[in-house]
Structures are given as structure tokens and as C-alpha cells.
Structure 1
Amino acid sequence: MEEARMQWGRWAKEIQQGKRESFIQHLESRGLIHDVVGDRDLLHRVLTEKRVGFYAGIDPTGPSMHVGHMLPFMILAWAYVWGLPATFLLGGSTARIGDPTGRRTTREQEHSSVRRANIASMHIQLKRLGASIEAYGLKHGYKRQWIWRRALTNNNTWWNKVAAIEWLRDMGAFVRLGPMLGRETVKNRLNSSEGMSFAEFTYPLMQAWDWWVLFRKGCQVQVGGSDQYGNILFGMDCVKQASRNTALQEEKNMLDDELDRPLGITTPLLTAPNGEKIGKSGGNAIWLDKDMTSSFELYQYFVRTPDDAVERYLKLFTFLPMPKIENIMQRQNQDPSKRVAQHALAREFVELIHGQEELHIASQQHRQLFGSRHESDEEKPIAAKPDTGPPESYRSPFREFANRAAGNRSLVFDRSFNKILYSAGLVNSRSESHRLIMKGGAHVGGSSDGTHRVEMRDEVKYQPIREGWPRDKANEFIVDNEFMLLRVGKWKHKIVKIISDEEFTKLGLQAPGWDATMGKVDDGPGKDEKK
């Protein structure tokens, strides 16, 4: 750690001497900062003199993140490759309430099984994003250093343990109602026929408590979209009060040194051409889960970027160095019809989110549909690996559900796990499923005590599927009698939504191991098994 401290000190001197770009200058040059919450010069000093932690949060109110969520996470991505600790926060608890900012009505409450499924999906998505950022950074010359730190945490971790009296004692006691009542969202809702619930009113206080928990672990800077400015400002004041007044003497800090105080950054909001915010509520979300928005569709979305926005997007959504972007724009301006900049943007973003193989598939589909590729305009793609997924006819038609498949009761209840994995489309055959289980490569979500079904908590936990489990063991892992979480390897997972056989047949769905013609289970040989 002493070596890292000395390295940061050398960099600080170079920044002060004008020989090195500071982190805030880097973010500003790429257009990632909409506002600094607090004093900009103080933030510059903090980021120059200290290796402080950053965090950004997202509530799993949907099954997937979308493009609009990425700007705060791009700041985390840059922080990570600059050696600043980055924390991705999943709001498992705050999602139960829902942020009222900018909303005219109360957010509709989701069933607990839907919320848990969303948490599972987004947890895996954020975990993949962290790994993708590291791989994408390496491509652009940012080789991982031992001091680099990133974390993914769910605020259920503390909200399931903290007592209400502790929350009120350390934070609620020092918050005045005046500023909370004066917020625009609160005034609008209180003056409307809808009104505002007490739970929604306290949402900023919950978000502030999240920051207070993370602040004590080194997360001094919170990042959010520009619509989060009020919540971040409120949270900043709450963290200061909690730090100065906490009943726990060992955690009390008067913050006399201004370099130790919390600060915030907001990013620009991504909007559609008509000015509407891009997102689920606006009905115009471009999802980051490829089961909801395919890699090809994501590629096409960025290829359609207007000419007057593409340079800005290259700075916001990629790690391309500024001279490279300038070069791309020069070529773009020579012949805008070739859409050189748009293709560069699409390639970079698809690779960042889904990796090189998916980029190859998306760009290949584009060429097949729209003609040949100019070698000078695109990099040569890598060779694609053969598809190891389930047959196309067996892939779920439920594209609105990320990483989810519909399974009828007969394909799940009282079935062995090697058959369930096959029917869920996670493997190509039951023999492959059996081999994975033998090697410990297949997992099921939730927990069981071996005697009865146990309800899964909001945390996402998996355990290995064991060879020799009885056939009805799977029943113990069916959550709320509605769904099952399955995972193969590190990243490949499925949330199996269980419906009746009748509904499955009525919807015209198919799955391996199901005879659609006869409307019954077909336990014939798997794809590579002999009769």
C-alpha cells in the first residue's frame, strides 16, 4: 500500500505541474460531467491528492439495465482503470420503495418473485459488466494493476440488519423537514390528487444511508444521472451530519479536513431525439440484455446515431483516446454517408457490453443485410466460435424477460436436474448436463435444508447441484412456487418461470424434452444421445 501511496503522490505532483491530466479534467474532456455536487475545485483537489472511492447505484425495478443507465457506470469504468476504487451498488431494498424523483404517480409494487428475479438478473449483469470493463480497458492499454479495486454489493446486505431506531438515531435525528418538503418532486406530488406516501418521502433518506455505509468504507464520491442531483446533494449533507453525530465514537469524524468530505458527480441524461428521457418508463429503452435487445439490434441502434451526436457519444460511451476520435471524425466528415463514426461507436459499445464474439456476430449480420464492409472503416473481426447454445426453435419467445425461459410444471416438478438444465436451454443434451453436474459446473439458486422448501432471500446465492440428489430434490428450490434460478459455469444463467402445462401449450411454447404435439413430457434421447 505504501508503494501505491507514493505512486499517487508522484502523479499528484505531475498534475500540479501541468504535466499530467487530472481525473476530473479527463471526465470533463469526455463530456461525462453534467454537474459537480459540491465544490468543483475541491473535487479536483480530492481526486488529485487522494485515491478515493466512487460508487453508483441502480434499483432493480426491471429485468435489465438499458443504455441510459450506462453513463454513471462509464465514470466508474474510468475510475477503475485509473486505479480509483469503484463500487456498483444494487438497490435490492430501495427497489421495494422506488425513487419518486420526477414521477407523478406512485410506482406500482412488484410481486416479491418478480423483484427477486430482477435482482438475480441485474446482479449477474453488473458482475459481467465489471469483468467486461476490465477486458475492454486492456484492449485500450489499461493493464490491470494490483491496486485496482471494484466491488458489487446489494444494499440488502445492511438494510436486512439495521434496526429502524439506529437509522433514525444516526441520520433521521439530524435531518430537517424543511429542505425535504421544499424539493420540487415532493411539492408537485403533495399538490396532486395522487399525493405521496411516507415510504416515498423517505426514499432520499434511504439513499443517504446507503452512502453513509459506503462512505465509511472509502466511497467518498457518489455518481448519478442529472435527475439525481437533489438526492445526491441531500445525501451529501446527511453523510456529513451522520459522520459528525453518530453514536458510535470509533466512527465519528468531524470532517475538519475538507478533503475528507463527501462529494458528488452527475452525468448528462441520455434522451431520445424528441427530448424524452430514455428508459423503461418512457417505453424507449434499449436494453443491455441480449435476450431483450439483441447484439445486432444494439449495434443498429448506435449505427443510427445522428451525425450531430456521434462525436459526443464516442467520448461518452467508449475508451477511444481523443486523438483517435478526432481522426474518426475527420474521416466521417469526408463522407458522412459511410457512417464511419457510427460504426466505430457501435463496435466499441457492443464489445464493451457483450464482448468480441457478440460484436463479430452483430457486425456480420449487418454486412449480410446492408452490403459489404469497407476494410478501411472497420477493424477485422475475430473468428467466431461455434454456437454452443440451444437450438433456435427452443429459445424462449419471451423477449421481454431477460435471461428467462418459460417452463411448464411437468418439465420442472419431480424432475432430475440434468433434465431441467436441458429443458431450460442451458445445455445441448442431458448427457452434457450430467457431465457438468459431475464436475460441479451446474448451480441452483436459493437454499434448502434437505427436508422442505425454503423461501429464497433477496440476496442471490447459488449452490452446486449434486450428483445423486433424488429426483424430487428440485422441488425444494422452486421459489414462491413460481420460478427457479439456474446457472451453468460463471456467467450463463436462466430464470425459469414456471407456468401450467395448459398455458404452456396454449401459448405455443416449445422446450427440449417437451412433445408439443402430444402435450406431454418426451424423455427420449437428448441431442447427442443414442437410442
Structure 2
Amino acid sequence: MAFGPGTLLSRGSVCRRCLLTMKSMAGGSPIYTYVQQRGKKSWYGPKYQAKIDQAAAEWDERAEKIKKGEIQNTWDMFVERGFVKDTAGSHGAIRELMRQKRIGAYTGIDPTASSLHIGHLLPLMPIFWMYMHGYPAYTLIGGATAKIGDPTDRLVSRTPIKRIDLTMNLTKIHYQLKAMWMNVEEQARRRNFEKKWSSRRAVVNNSTWWNSLPMIEVLKRLGDSMRMGPLLSRDTVKNKMSKGDGMSFAEFTYPLMQGWDWWHMYSANGIQMQIGGSDQYGNIVTGIDVVKIVRDNEPDPQHKMPGGPMDDPVGFTVPLLTDSAGVKFGKSADNAIWLDKFKTSEFDLYGYFVRRSDDEVEKLLKLFTFLPLENIDEAMRIHNQNPAERVAQHLLAFEVVALAHGMNAANRTALNHQQMYGKEITIPGVTLKLPKSETDGTPLTLANAPQIDMQLPESLILGKSIGRILYAAGLASSTTEGHRLASQQAAYVGGMPGHKRFDDQKVMEHSLLTFTPIRLWYAQETRNYLIDGKMLILRKGKHNIRMIEMVSDEEWKASGKTYPGEPGTGALRQLRDQLKALRAGRMTPEEVRANLKDDNEDEKARRGLIKFPDSNPIAVRKLTKQLMGEIWEQEKELGVDHEEDYFKADDEQWAAEEIERLDDEKSEEKHGW
């Protein structure tokens, strides 16, 4: 609703702050617009209104071009590429709705596993396409509904998910979706889609509203009008009651919860369309009923939302994909093909799509890539000239890896595949190039972030300062920097979910991903933030996150792992041990020199591990110099001519770096650093 400066408003409809704001703008100022949606109040001025008007005019112009046949209707594109299985609403009505109106769309994912898999990608693709064409596009994580579990097509109830698993899954999928949205932006630029001011996308969690929603509100708005007959007649209910282990009340209400999610986004964000997997048609139909009932039962006339063909919710499901052998698509040897590169490597993901049969590759190119259909036709023409080259399969694999992990990963993986099989790869429209190697100065993004889950011992988590924990987790370059991050509240900790804290009795819900700025606290206070007593979530910046599982000291010692700052494992200790071994004759000069040169950086990068800097670089350099001196003396006794041998071949670059280090050391000592 909109009000001008001269409009009288009751105190019941506008808060005190808004009344004061309106009063301050009344005297001769331009007309400001007051917007009050369900749960939202905001003002915006003439400049913002001008942008809204311009976006509306551009959309009307687009609708007219579609009507004249100058550009394709997005719905027609969905049908042409094979995305549409069942529709809730007629094809014609949905087509006209998408032509005339910038409707929002969403698809939901319950975090019942620690990663998305290929099966999730199919309903996500229409969401990504709609965003590229200017529609608001939302991806919903079911932090609340995952506690119940979707009973659709199940005869046996799901095992209740543990709180610690829900928190871990929620965190991983949240950042996985954010990374994929960044890759979608990259693909949109690559395909010359112009990003509009009005483009909207978001990753949301339904725990945000379910954690503050009174049950009486749901029963009052929904309970009176939802009839039991249609709910009991659903196949899922009948099959589970007659053939399965029965249905709990929680499972019975799952589609109602999903419908309320839709209503919340429909009223707050204009989300009018739901897109689901092949088994979600019943839930989508129930959701449409829920949205209409809650909308029509609005008791406040000022909040009443319009109905009718242009305002009613609609939805559709995507098809169930199986391969040529009838196996559900995305499965390999009974294992899902994950979109987490630490569960299914980029190379294995690429290989899975390269192995697709000729009969299915064209269909998969239409479903899983943003390639124009004419490009797909051309790729198939090239492929059919020599099917053994698998040109279409390599194009499919490249595009899927680019969407899941980014263009750099796609180029790197295709080149690795080419090198491994010793055969040049032809990918139509793609020039393979090795991405620039990432250095310490490369900004950390979700695409190149290290593996976020790790283990650390109990003695560290419960007995050491938060600054030392930040250092051990790789979020700080030293304990000192860790303390600085904590004192400046520049790092964050996942609040303690599901139970009360020891100090201030604050409670946080474990299905909601929230962070609190870290402050300096006593070592024993860290336990306040442990999830189920054994998991700690830390974050620095937007993308640098660690999910730390606390293990016993005995288990940590048996694992053979070390962490930065762990007593007895630092660079200084290792250099001292090598110096002692060299003097005692337990190591040869060649072995020590090889250890100094080989830091396994490439292996660390390949495995997604973290490279930690030296905590005391000057001391390390001094001891390195002393160790090299010892090697020098022992080799002189053996008759080695260092002037002719030491600076040759493989040692030349390393020696030059060592001289540069010593020069830096002198400079640091001179300036007192």
C-alpha cells in the first residue's frame, strides 16, 4: 500500500518511528512511498520509485515482444528443453502468467545429507534460467522441515536426524548453494545475459520463520479450511498407512509445513511458482491450496492480497531421469554423484558425464547446460561424424563441472583428463587453457576455499585460548593474529544451538545458521559454543569457514595429524631434530637437503588442505642457515666442491631463494622488525 504525505494513518497501522519519519518528510518534500508487507515496513523515495517504474516498463516491453513472437517465452523454453513433467495449473495459464508478470520462483532442499548431488541439479536448473531471464529466484534450505523428513514415496519413516548432523549439513549446503549461485553469475556473463537492476536471488532457510511462528497462528489461518478428505486421499498417506510402518502426525503435516513456507515467501517476496522434483507434485498441489487458503483468510483488510489468474500460485515438477540401463540418474555403484568436490572429485564428476551414452547425451545437454539449442545441435552434428571421440560428452562434462565448481575447475579438469588418457579433447566453443596457479595473494572465494570440516584435539579446544584455536584452524597466521581477530571481533563463532549457554543462558536453534562475533574469553568458555558437546563452527570473512569436530587426545595422537602451533611439531622443532640427526649421522646431507626443499605444497593444494605460514620466520631462517652450514661442512669433508656443485642444477633456484631470505633477514634486523 502507498501513502502520500497528506494521508492520515492510524497508530495501529504504522509504528511510532515511521510516523515521525513521515512527519519529517511532510513539509514540501517530494512524495515518499510507504510499503507495509506482512512483517516488513519500509520507506522509499522518488529515485527508487523511478527504478521500479523503469523495470516495469522494460518488462511490459519484453511481454509485448514475446506476444509478437520476437523473443521466446521462458515457459516455452522450459517445455522445449524437457524440464516440464507435471503442472499445477494449465500450460496456457502458466505461459501467459510468465509473459505478463515477473513472478518469483523457488525450489526447496532439505539438508538430510552433507552435500547436494546431481539429482538436486535438475530442479535447480529452471530456477537458474529464470534468474538469467529477470525473474526473482530463490533456493530454500529446509532447516525446519528436515527435522520431520519428507515421507513422500517412503514406506519406512526416516531416521530422525541428529542435531549435530543437521547443523553440519545445513552449513555445508548453504555455502554450496552460494558457490553455485556465483558460478551461475559467471555462466550468465559467459552467455551474454544482461544483469538487470531488478534481478533478485537468495538462499533462505525456513527455520527463520518457523522458529518464531506461533502454532496458534498456523491453526487459526490454515486449520479451519484444510479438509481431511483430500489430505488422507494422497497416495503417500494411503501407501504408508496400508503398506508401510504407519504415518506419524509430524509426517502427515509435512506438506502443510512446505505449503506454509510457500505462503511466507509468496506474501513477503512475491514467490508465485514452486519447482520440484518428480515426486513433489502432491506437495506442490497441497502447497497451492495452503497459499490460497491463508491468503483468503487474512483478517486484516489492509493486508488482504488479491487473487485471480495473475495472482494465484502455480508450479511444476521436473522429470525423473534414468540412464540407458534404467538406473536412477546420479547414482554410480550405489553411490550418489555429489556436488561437493571433497566427496566426488571434479575429475570423477567430469568422468561420470563423459561416460554417458550417445542415446542420452543430447537430452542431458538440454537439461544441464546453458548452451543455446542451436549450439547443442551443432555439437551433436560434430559428435555424430565421429562418435568415438565423445565430443558431446566432453562438452556436457565441461559445462556441468563449470556450473558446479567454476570455469577454472572445468578447464583444469578437462586438461587433466586429456593428460591422463593421452588424447586431445575437442570441446565445441571452448578453448582449454590452464588457469593461473593460486598463490598466497589470491583472494579466497567459495570456489577455491579449502575443505571446511576438520578435527582438532580436546586439549586444544577446551584448554587453550580462542586465538590459538583460530591459528590451529588456519583462520589466522599466528596465535598473535588470532588474539587480534578476537579482540577486534573480526572472526565469528556459530552460536551454541539447541541448548542454553553456561554464562548467559542464551539459546540458539540448531537448524538456523547464525554467527556471533568472537571476543576474547577464558579458555573454558569455548565449551559454550560446542554443538552437542563436540563441534565448533568458526568463520572469518564471508567464505573462510571451519567446522571443527573435537576428538579425544588419544584419538588425535593415533591419527598422526598435527595442527599449526601444536607443541613439538613446528618448523623450528623439525629443523632442530634434523640438525641433531645430521650431527649424529642418522641422516645424510642429501636427505636433509631434500627435506628442506620438499614442502609438498602441490600435494596440499591438490587435496584442498591448508598451507600455514611459519609462526617465527626469522628464527626459522636462522636455523635453516645453521643447518645448511652443517651440511656444507660435512660435504667439504667428503671432498664436494661447493663452488662448482652447490649452485648447480636443481639446487640453483632453491639457493637463490635462500640468499633472498637471508637478505630479508638482514633488512628485518636493521629496522628492528
Q: Give the TM-score taking structure 1 as reference length.
A: 0.89
Q: Which of the residues 615, 634, 641 maps onto 1:529?
A: 615
* Kept in 2: contact 1:484–1:496 (CA 8 A): yes
2:295 corresponds to which residue? Answer: 243
The CA deviation at 1:95 is: 0.4
The CA deviation at 1:246 is: 2.8
Q: Which of the residues 145, 158, 163 maps onto 1:107?
A: 158
The CA deviation at 1:453 is: 8.0
1:215 corresponds to which residue? Answer: 266
1:363-442 → structure 2 map (5 Å cutoff):
363-374=414-425, 378-386=430-438, 403-425=452-474, 442=491
The CA deviation at 1:67 is: 0.9
Aligned mates of 1:200, 1:269 — CA distance in 2: 23
Report whether the alignment pairs 1:126 with 2:177: yes
* Kept in 1: contact 2:471–2:565 (CA 8 A): no
Report whether the alignment pairs 1:26 with 2:53: no
1:263-412 → structure 2 map (5 Å cutoff):
263-278=314-329, 283-374=334-425, 378-386=430-438, 403-412=452-461
Match for 2:514: what amino acid? K
Query: Structure 1, unaligned stretches of length 5 or more?
Result: 390-401
Match for 2:185: what amino acid? E
Could you give the per-residue CA deviations for residues 175-234 of structure 1, whole angstroms, max 9, x where no partner exists?
Answer: 111111111111111113511111101111111111111111300111101110111011
Aligned mates of 2:404, 2:478 — CA distance in 1: 29
* Kept in 1: contact 2:88–2:314 (CA 8 A): yes
Report whether the alignment pairs 1:476 with 2:528: yes
The CA deviation at 1:505 is: 3.7
Query: Structure 2, unaligned stretches of length 5 or more?
Result: 1-51, 442-450, 573-611, 620-673
Aligned mates of 2:482, 2:341 — CA distance in 1: 24
Q: Secondary structure at the match of 1:259?
A: coil
Aligned mates of 2:329, 2:302 — CA distance in 1: 44
1:69-88 → structure 2 map (5 Å cutoff):
69-88=120-139
Q: Secondary structure at the match of 2:335?
A: coil
Aligned mates of 2:433, 2:479 — CA distance in 1: 34
Could you give the per-residue CA deviations for residues 440-479 of structure 1, whole angstroms, max 9, x where no partner exists?
Answer: 764322269894685542321224445x555555443222
Aligned mates of 1:135, 1:481 — CA distance in 2: 40
Could you give the per-residue CA deviations for residues 385-423 of structure 1, whole angstroms, max 9, x where no partner exists?
Answer: 23669xxxxxxxxxxxx8322222123223334443443
The CA deviation at 1:161 is: 1.3
Aligned mates of 1:370, 1:279 — CA distance in 2: 24
Aligned mates of 1:358, 1:488 — CA distance in 2: 24
Q: Secondary structure at the match of 1:220?
A: strand
Cα 1:193–1:501, aligned 2, differ >3 Å: closer, same or farther? same
* Kept in 2: contact 1:100–1:200 (CA 8 A): yes
Aligned mates of 2:173, 2:142 — CA distance in 1: 10
* Kept in 1: contact 2:454–2:549 (CA 8 A): yes
1:54 corresponds to which residue? Answer: 105
Cα 1:490–1:381, aligned 2, differ >3 Å: closer, same or farther? farther
Cα 1:296–1:432, aligned 2, differ >3 Å: closer, same or farther? farther
The CA deviation at 1:86 is: 0.7
The CA deviation at 1:497 is: 1.4
Match for 1:404: what amino acid? D
Aligned mates of 1:470, 1:280 — CA distance in 2: 48
Q: Secondary structure at the match of 1:144?
A: coil
- Bigger mean CA deviation after superposition, 272-281 or 454-463: 272-281
Q: Secondary structure at the match of 1:174?
A: coil
Match for 2:243: what amino acid? S
* Kept in 2: contact 1:453–1:476 (CA 8 A): no
Aligned mates of 2:420, 2:484 — CA distance in 1: 39
Q: Root-mean-square deviation (CA), in Å?
A: 2.9
* Kept in 2: contact 1:30–1:315 (CA 8 A): yes
Aligned mates of 2:180, 2:485 — CA distance in 1: 25
Could you give the per-residue CA deviations for residues 331-369 of structure 1, whole angstroms, max 9, x where no partner exists?
Answer: 111111111111111111111111122223322321232
Aligned mates of 1:334, 1:426 — CA distance in 2: 52
1:234 corresponds to which residue? Answer: 286
Cα 1:155–1:374, aligned 2, differ >3 Å: closer, same or farther? closer
Q: Secondary structure at the match of 2:224?
A: helix
Match for 1:141: what amino acid? N
Cα 1:163–1:105, aligned 2, differ >3 Å: closer, same or farther? same
2:214 corresponds to which residue? Answer: 163
Could you give the per-residue CA deviations for residues 3-57 of structure 1, whole angstroms, max 9, x where no partner exists?
Answer: 1111111111111111110010111122111222111101011100111111111
Report whether the alignment pairs 1:495 with 2:544: no
Q: Secondary structure at the match of 1:495?
A: strand
Match for 2:534: what amino acid? E
* Kept in 2: contact 1:411–1:513 (CA 8 A): no
Q: Which of the residues 514, 523, 542 maps onto 1:461?
A: 514
* Kept in 1: contact 2:109–2:142 (CA 8 A): yes
2:638 corresponds to which residue? Answer: none
Cα 1:437–1:324, aligned 2, differ >3 Å: closer, same or farther? farther
Report whether the alignment pairs 1:225 with 2:274: no
Identical pairs, percent: 39
Aligned mates of 1:315, 1:436 — CA distance in 2: 48
The CA deviation at 1:273 is: 4.6
- Bigger mean CA deviation after superposition, 365-374 or 335-344: 365-374
Cα 1:239–1:452, aligned 2, differ >3 Å: closer, same or farther? closer
Match for 2:150: what amino acid? D
1:16 corresponds to which residue? Answer: 67
Q: Secondary structure at the match of 1:486?
A: strand
Q: Secondary structure at the match of 1:124?
A: helix
* Kept in 2: contact 1:314–1:345 (CA 8 A): yes
- Bigger mean CA deviation after superposition, 415-424 or 147-156: 415-424
Cα 1:173–1:453, aligned 2, differ >3 Å: closer, same or farther? closer
Report whether the alignment pairs 1:504 with 2:569: no
Match for 1:49: what amino acid? Q
Q: Which of the residues 149, 159, 173 maps onto 2:224?
A: 173
Aligned mates of 1:272, 1:80 — CA distance in 2: 29
Structure number with bigger Rg: 2
Q: Secondary structure at the match of 1:44?
A: helix
The CA deviation at 1:426 is: 5.4
* Kept in 2: contact 1:278–1:285 (CA 8 A): no
Could you give the per-residue CA deviations for residues 267-306 of structure 1, whole angstroms, max 9, x where no partner exists?
Answer: 1123355434457999431111111111111111111121
Could you give the per-residue CA deviations for residues 220-265 of structure 1, whole angstroms, max 9, x where no partner exists?
Answer: 111101110111011112211221123343333461x311111001
Q: Which of the residues 141, 144, 155 maps onto 1:93?
A: 144
Report whether the alignment pairs 1:444 with 2:493: yes
* Kept in 2: contact 1:296–1:361 (CA 8 A): no
Aligned mates of 2:305, 2:232 — CA distance in 1: 28
Aligned mates of 2:570, 2:434 — CA distance in 1: 39
Could you give the per-residue CA deviations for residues 84-106 of structure 1, whole angstroms, max 9, x where no partner exists?
Answer: 00111111110000000011110
Cα 1:368–1:273, aligned 2, differ >3 Å: closer, same or farther? same
Aligned length: 513
Aligned mates of 2:470, 2:326 — CA distance in 1: 44
* Kept in 2: contact 1:453–1:475 (CA 8 A): no
